[in-house]
Each structure stands twice: as structure tokens, then as C-alpha cells.
Amino acid sequence: MASMIDIILAFTLGGILLIIILNANDVASTHASLLNGDMLVQQMLVSITQILEGEIRNMGFNVPVGSPAIINANDTLITFLSDLYADGTTDTVGYYLGSLSELQQTQHDSDRLLHRKVNSDPAFSLGAVTRFSLRYFSQGLIDTLIPPRPGQPYWIARRPGGTFVENPFDYREIKVIELTLEVQNPYALYKRADDPTVGAGSSLYSSSMWRQTRLASQNLRR
């Protein structure tokens, strides 16, 4: 009888130990996936911001004094002039957010390609982002300059004393840019098994965000 009890206790303790080991392996695997996902999105974010921030800080380089360095801008697009290769030639550089349809094959329903275009060369994708937004300010952040959007066909300047329509708008008013960039892993770390949708709110993605609130080129201050 004692031997039978010993056998039962041994099986019970062995089963408990096995469950603990399996749970530990599952936790370790989850943590490893989170760590790898975080490292991936951080590397993607750094590689994009290094190019983007460097070129925006140099916008207007070798552009004649008094000429606008920025020639087009809105919430998700900016086009400016700069001498990229320091060869005395003015280049036209543009960054813009692509459409959702470009990345329909991913699990994420909010990721888009961030494109870079130089002169007449084909646009080049810097990578997938979930947010690329721009805000514009005048010298000393006195005016908030709001670009056209649906229902608002003109630029608007919010300054002490009121809100004013800027038509036509002089891009030379832009002196400071706030840039927000977010990158998320296109593949969900967690998703409810009973959720048939793609990229729904029940999904969990590794995410990394970068915001530069005082991004300005010294060439814009001339």
C-alpha cells in the first residue's frame, strides 16, 4: 500500500514539475519574441530617421537666399530643395506616405510605405511605417501653420490674436517642423484565435515612436 502511495505521489509531483517547465518555456519564448520584435522595429526606425532627419536639417543648402527651400508640404508630405551632393546643383527631394493598398499582404492594416523621391528618379521606399506626420511653425513657434486638408482648401495660420487664412501661402513662412514617425512590426505578436480580421484592435504589435519637435534647418532662417 505504501509503495502504491509513493508511486502516485511521484507521478503527481512529476506532472506538476512538467507543467512548470512547459509554462517556463512558454514565458521564455514569449519574452524572446517580444525582445526580437522590439529590436526589429527600433532598427527600422533608426535607419529611417537617420536619413530623414539629416536631409531635412540640410534643406535649403546652396539654395539662393530669398528663394523658398520648401516647395510643397502637407500633413504627410514634404518637398524641398537642397544641394544633396554638394556639387552646386539644386536637387528636389520629396518624402511622402504611400497608400494602404501598397501593403495589403501584411497582417497589419495600418502600415504604409514611406517614399523618398529625388529629382526625376523613381521613388524609393525607406520602409514601412504606421505613422508619418508633419506640423509646421513660423520663426520662434509664434504661428502654427496648418496645411490644406479636406474641407479646408487653404493654409491657416494660428497666431496670438486669432486664426487667419493664408491665400496664397508663402512657404518661406515655415521655419520649424515637428516630425512624428512610428514603426510597428507588420506581424502581430498576439492575436485572438477567434478574430478573423486583419490588424484589428485585439492584435498586439511591437512598436517604436520618434518625434522631433524642433526640427529646423539653419538655411530656413535666412
The residue extents of the domains of the chain are 10-221
Residue 15 predicted with pLDDT over 70: no
- Across 14-24, average pLDDT: 58
At 27 the pLDDT is 47
Residue 189's pLDDT band, with cuts at 50, 70 and 90, is low
At 129 the pLDDT is 94
Residue 32 predicted with pLDDT over 80: no
Residue 197 predicted with pLDDT over 60: no
Give the span between the Cα atoms of 118 and 93, in whole angstroms: 5
Starting at the earlier edge strand, list the strands of the sheet with 77-82: 70-74, 77-82, 91-97, 112-118, 124-129
- Across 158-170, average pLDDT: 92
- Across 67-74, average pLDDT: 94
Give the span between the Cα atoms of 102 and 44, in whole angstroms: 18
Determine the 3-state secondary structure of 164 from DSSP. Answer: strand
Q: What are the cell numbers at 146?
A: 496648418
Residue 198 predicted with pLDDT over 50: no
213 vs 176: which has the higher pLDDT = 176
Q: What are phi and psi of 19, to 5 degrees?
A: -60, -40
At 59 the pLDDT is 93
